[in-house]
Amino acid sequence: MSYMSKPRIAHPGLKKNALGLTRRDYEGGMSTLCAGCGHDSITAAIIQACFELAIEPHRVAKVSGIGCSSKTPAYFLSASHGFNSVHGRMPAVATGANAANRDLSYIGVSGDGDSLSIGLGQFCHAMRRNLDMLYLIENNGVYGLTKGQFSASADVGSKAKRGEINEQPPIDPVLTALAMGGTFVARSFSGDKEQLVPLIKAGLKHKGFALIDVLSPCVTFNDHEDSTKSYAYTRQHYHPALETDFVRPAEEIMADYDAGAAMSIELHDGSMIVLRKAAQDYDPQNRGTAFAYIKDKLRDSEFLTGLLYVEETAPDMHVLSHTADRPLVDFGWEDLCPGSSALPEILKRYR
């Protein structure tokens, strides 16, 4: 794969990963989002996670819908193919793409409008199929590109920039995912890279649908006083329920964990997630109690963050469909066309 050694002008001191690539090889085009947008921090976290995981950029497929969040795949992994689909329909594109080529890593970026309003059905059905992909919702409670309407994730009592108060209860992506059978359900905050990067890594390595709802304030339309999705409000109200460390297969677990509070979960490829619980009674492998706990906290306006639920053994779409391990796009003509010799037997029943 000679393209790995293509000459590139880079600072000789830049750190290289296992593939010999630098962080710059994982960057994309210049962001055109507003200065200070939470989404750009998430983009940076994706770049860092992919660099540290030493994923071959061209073996990643980036998919998105419509909205500010859905623009961001253009800002990372420029050596990856991207698909900016229609509004709310990214899960369908990812499903078809994954059906055809299961060997790529799929990163989906969506927003609260894209996933919780126009695309709620597709979002739910992708989880129902346990589609193997990382799905990020860059959640800011507001429609940015159309200048400030509330989205379905806006909290009751939150105030719009133009002064309107939201009265309708929100749809919470984390609770929705738990109800729909999501197998990897996490929440984070664009301003907490320490938490977000290992979550992205774990989500990429999870075999199945990995949802990370990332609270990502909109500096232009939803960062004012009395907004519940502002930087200030989010910093005040988010609570890590679990601290997540991601450990690659060959690495040793170096950190010293308090035996009672830590649990490790092995992922499909042998890597480990180590969770340190901030709340003693929280069990991220019990869907029912996790749901109740998160809902209780939401009632108190607390956003629990971290890897809130994980189920590593659930079968993904391909297991359920008995699809060949080899990607369907790699099968040749002879593997697929039965040829004239098979035709008489097929046509017999029509005589």
Partner 1 sequence: MPEPQSAERINDFVIKLANVNGTGSASANSLLMKSIFRMGVPVVGKNFFPSNIQGLPTWYEIRVSRDGHIARSGRVDIMVAMNAETYRQDLSDVSPGGVLIYDSTWPRSHELVREDVTILGIPLAKICNEHFDGIRARILMKNVTYVGALAALLELDLEVIKQLLGETFARKPKLADANMQAIHLGYDYARDHFECPLSLRVESMDLTRDHIMIDGNSAAALGCLYAGVTVGAWYPITPSTSLMDAFRSLCAQHRTDAETGENRYCIVQAEDELAAIGMVLGAGWMGARAFTPTSGPGISLMSEFIGFGYFAEIPAVIFDVQRVGPSTGMPTRTQQCDILSAAYCSHGDTRHPILFPADPTECFEMAVAAFDLAERLQTPIFVLSDLDIGMNDWMCPLLQWDDDYRWDRGKVLSETDLEKAEHFWRYYDHDGDGIPYRSLPGVHPKGAYFTRGSGHNAEGRYTEDADEYREVVDRLNRKFETAAELVPAPVVVNSARGDIAVLSVGSCDGAVREALVLLGEQGVKLNYMRVKAFPFSGKVQDFLDRHERVFVVEQNRDGQLRKLLINETTTDPAKLVSILHYDGLPIGSDCILEAILGGLEKGAAA
Least distance in Å: CB of 97 to partner 1?
4
**Long-range CB contacts for residues 259-266, cutoff 8 Å, separation at least 24:** 265/310, 265/312, 266/312
Rounded Cα distance, 245 and 307, in Å: 10
| 116 touching partner 1, by CB under 8 A | no
User: Residue 335, Cβ neighbours under 10 Å: how many?
Assistant: 10
Least distance in Å: CB of 6 to partner 1?
9
The contact mask relative to partner 1 for 272-311 (x = CB under 8 A, - = no) is ----------------------------------------
Using alpha carbons, list the distances in angstroms from residue 70 to 8, 87, 255. 29, 9, 36
Q: Could you tell me whether strands 105-111 and 81-84 are parallel, antiparallel, or unpaired per DSSP bridges?
A: unpaired
Q: Return the DSSP state at 27.
A: B
Q: Give the range of 7-15, 84-92, 140-148, 234-242 binding partner 1 by CB under 8 A.
A: 84-92
**Among positions 14, 18, 100, 165, the unique one binding partner 1 when judged by CB under 8 A:** 100
**Among positions 8, 15, 16, 59, the unique one binding partner 1 when judged by CB under 8 A:** 59
Q: Which two tokens stand for residue 249?
A: 């297969």
Nearer to partner 1, 298 or 328 (CB): 328
Q: Which residues on adjacent β-strands are paired with residue 156? A: none
Q: Give the range of 119-127, 148-156, 181-189, 191-199 binding partner 1 by CB under 8 A.
A: 119-127
**Contact 55/205 with Cβ under 8 angstroms?**
no
Site for partner 1 in 126-155 (CB under 8 A): 129
CA nearest neighbour of 211 among 315, 302, 87, 106: 106
Q: Give the range of 11-19, 177-185, 291-299, 317-325 binding partner 1 by CB under 8 A.
A: 317-325
Least distance in Å: CB of 41 to partner 1?
21
Nearer to partner 1, 88 or 170 (CB): 88
Least distance in Å: CB of 320 to partner 1?
10
Q: Return the DSSP state at 33.
A: S
**Among positions 17, 22, 31, 78, the unique one binding partner 1 when judged by CB under 8 A:** 78
**Among positions 44, 47, 68, 74, the unique one binding partner 1 when judged by CB under 8 A:** 74
Nearer to partner 1, 59 or 235 (CB): 59
Rounded Cα distance, 209 and 220, in Å: 31
CA nearest neighbour of 111 among 203, 17, 33: 33
**Contact 261/277 with Cβ under 8 angstroms?**
yes
Least distance in Å: CB of 121 to partner 1?
6
Nearer to partner 1, 103 or 251 (CB): 103
| 179 touching partner 1, by CB under 8 A | no
Rounded Cα distance, 139 and 154, in Å: 9
Nearer to partner 1, 29 or 169 (CB): 29
Residues 6+ apart with CB under 8 A from 342: none
| 255 touching partner 1, by CB under 8 A | no
Nearer to partner 1, 64 or 140 (CB): 64
Rounded Cα distance, 38 and 41, in Å: 5
User: What are phi and psi for residue 338, nearest 5 degrees?
Assistant: -70, -15
CA nearest neighbour of 173 among 266, 91, 277: 91
Q: Which residues bind partner 1 (CB under 8 A)?
A: 2-3, 57-59, 61, 63, 73-74, 78-86, 89, 91-101, 103-104, 121-122, 124-125, 129, 317-318, 321-325, 328-329, 331, 333, 335-340, 342-343, 346-347, 350-351
